[in-house]
């Protein structure tokens, strides 16, 4: 494994601070974690060094940084992986020292553990060791030969599992994703519901080996055996490396299809898309001739997670085994999927996605993924309208999350909150969720037009009038209840409402004017 390979592992989220190509091509021989100012006596040539930089003081002493990096260079370390958690960043003095002594420097974000980096290195080394011509393989020679032949002829993951474990009596083994979806299982293994599978991975029940591949946190594969000690660890890691090779080949074969998916999503999003062009794009994705189509749009509320929207949506849709789909990420950070399926009068697609959504959120604690699901449409000509519908539903999901009252306590409540982040057009049930789908600049213009005089932050009286308007409308324009809520005399409420009417040009005795003002308040 080379230093550059660590940078390519998305799940580690490492970033390069400094390092020339020749340094990044160096082979990694091991891992050492240290926070000693002079760690030289504990290092071996070829190692990467993990440091939380506890030894570093914020006084910016370049001599201390130079001494530390010099020790690494003299010991033959191939790279320094510096944690950002202690100081919030990698000190510039440390970067300068690494340039001087020609030691590659990588930054480790606070959410990435040193253990995850160590496991990544040693799991890859296990795989490379197992491919070398040696007598130290864990799997028997005949099993290895059979597996290599099966891999070359394109055997499925289930076939590979059966071949791998046959000489051990074929214990129950599931190949799972982080959200609990079963990719494959040995012939004797029972079906494992996604919720139970995800819980087993989360609670570390049985024996689990992560499959090393270029994947996201949502579709990472895991070999999972329900009981400990059934299979020797060396054999499990060797099987895991072989399944990883199968995964990488599968991803390479799927690469051309991703371009077709992107083309379809682009065509659906075009205001001038022609039916015959859409039909051809659907055919290229293997989705033509379906009885019904549904569009799903997903997005993340956190800019740092936007790249995950497409991976999360694709993983969620793979749980819907009777649905074929094409999914692609968009420049604006959203992911769009076109689903082909049988007629869906009962709303099975959004219902199943709501079941799966908490499992996706559990893959990345604190995730803020939302999705909007259109109603089913009969043909390609209706797809652009379905996309607009799904985007409005997405806005409804975001609005519902933003206005929900947090409930402390049960995990069930948390699951319900995650599931509520999937919305469909039927959830556009009030003015707030309807307005959430209106572009931000349009809402801002409407707000300024209707409430402009009341938005002058420099006038405290206007802030008071704005509060009065909100309370007055919230109490159905009741003078008495408004006065009670604001602890005012009714005459004072009458005076303030008259001022509001004069400044806005609206008459609060008219229903349409009340709606104008209520809509403007919701646009803030």
What is d(CA 125, CA 102) in angstroms, rounded to the nearest whole number? 25
Q: What is the predicted pLDDT for the residue at 402?
A: 57
Helix ranges (H only) for 153-274 are 157-165, 194-202, 233-269
> Could you give the domains of the chain?
3-121 (3.40.1390.20), 138-250 (3.30.450), 270-436 (3.30.70.270), 440-522 (1.10.10.2840)
Cα three-residue angle 250-251-256, rounded to 5 degrees: 105
The predicted pLDDT at position 351 comes to 86
pTM: 0.61
pLDDT of residue 444: 82
| 154: Cβ contacts below 8 Å, ≥ 6 apart | 249
Q: Are 500 and 511 in contact (CB under 8 A)?
A: no
**pLDDT at position 129, please?**
46
Report the pLDDT value the prediction gives residue 273, as an integer from 0 to 100: 60
Give the Cα separation of 176 and 222 in Å (integer): 5
With vertex at residue 353, the alpha carbon angle to CA 349 and CA 358, rounded to the nearest 5 degrees, is 170
Write out the H or E segment, with its range, that includes residue 423: strand 422-423
Count of residues in the chain? 524
Rounded mean pLDDT for each run of 10 residues along the chain, 524 residues in total? 85 90 89 88 89 83 90 94 91 93 94 87 61 55 87 92 89 94 94 93 90 81 89 88 90 85 90 80 93 91 64 92 89 85 78 89 80 91 91 78 47 44 71 69 83 72 85 90 91 90 89 87 81
Q: Where is 48: in which H helix or E strand?
A: strand 47-51
d(CA 242, CA 85): 35
Q: Report residue 474 as tokens.
A: 């919230």
CA-to-CA distance for 111 and 113, rounded, in angstroms?
Answer: 6
Position 414 scores a pLDDT of 44
Beta bridge partners of 416: none
Give how far Cα 524 sits from Cα of 19, 71, 447, Å: 47, 57, 7
pLDDT computed for residue 131 by the predictor:
44
């Amino acid at each position: 494994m080379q230093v550059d390979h660590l940078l390519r592992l998305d799940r580690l989220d490492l970033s390069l601070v400094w390092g020339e190509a020749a340094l990044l091509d160096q082979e990694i021989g091991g891992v050492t974690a240290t926070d000693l100012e002079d760690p030289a006596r504990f290092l071996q040539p070829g190692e990467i060094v993990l440091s939380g930089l506890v030894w570093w003081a914020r006084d910016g002493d370049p001599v201390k940084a130079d001494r530390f990096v010099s020790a690494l260079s003299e010991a033959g370390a191939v790279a320094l992986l510096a944690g950002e958690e202690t100081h919030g960043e990698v000190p510039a003095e440390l970067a300068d020292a690494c340039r001087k002594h020609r030691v590659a420097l990588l930054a480790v974000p606070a959410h990435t553990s040193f253990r995850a980096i160590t496991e990544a290195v040693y799991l890859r080394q296990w795989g490379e060791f197992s491919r070398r011509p040696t007598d130290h393989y864990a799997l028997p020679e005949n099993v290895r030969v059979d597996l290599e032949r099966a891999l070359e002829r394109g055997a499925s993951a289930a076939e590979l599992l059966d071949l791998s474990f046959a000489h051990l009596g074929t214990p129950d083994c599931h190949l799972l994703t982080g959200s609990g979806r079963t990719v494959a299982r040995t012939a004797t293994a029972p079906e494992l519901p996604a919720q139970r599978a995800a819980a087993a991975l989360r609670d570390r029940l049985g024996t689990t080996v992560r499959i090393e591949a270029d994947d996201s946190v949502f579709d990472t594969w895991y070999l999972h055996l329900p009981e400990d000690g059934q299979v020797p660890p060396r054999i499990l890691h060797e099987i895991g490396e072989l399944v990883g090779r199968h995964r990488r080949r599968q991803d390479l074969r799927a690469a051309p299809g991703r371009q077709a998916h992107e083309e379809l999503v682009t065509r659906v999003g075009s205001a001038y898309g022609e039916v015959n062009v859409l039909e051809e794009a659907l055919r290229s994705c293997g989705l033509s001739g379906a009885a019904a189509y549904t569009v799903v749009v997903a997005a993340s509320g956190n800019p740092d997670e936007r790249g995950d929207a497409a991976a999360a949506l694709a993983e969620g849709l793979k749980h819907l085994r009777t649905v074929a789909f094409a999914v692609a990420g968009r420049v604006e950070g959203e992911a769009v999927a076109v689903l082909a399926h049988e007629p869906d009068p009962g709303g099975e697609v959004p219902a199943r996605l709501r079941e799966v959504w908490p499992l996706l959120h559990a893959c990345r604690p604190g995730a803020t993924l939302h999705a909007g699901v259109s109603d089913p449409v009969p043909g390609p000509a209706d797809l652009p309208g379905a996309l607009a519908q799904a985007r409005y539903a997405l806005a409804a999901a975001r609005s519902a999350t933003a206005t929900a009252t947090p409930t402390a306590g049960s995990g069930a409540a948390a699951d319900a909150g995650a599931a509520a982040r999937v919305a469909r057009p039927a959830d556009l049930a009030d003015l707030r969720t309807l307005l959430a789908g209106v572009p931000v600049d349009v809402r801002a213009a409407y707000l300024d037009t209707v409430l402009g005089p009341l938005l002058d932050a420099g006038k405290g009286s206007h802030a008071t009038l704005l509060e009065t308007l909100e309370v007055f409308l919230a109490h159905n324009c009741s003078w008495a209840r408004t006065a009670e809520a604001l602890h005012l005399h009714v005459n004072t409420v009458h005076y303030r409402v008259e001022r509001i009417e004069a400044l806005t040009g609206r008459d609060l005795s008219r229903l349409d004017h009340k709606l104008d003002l209520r809509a403007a308040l919701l646009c803030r």
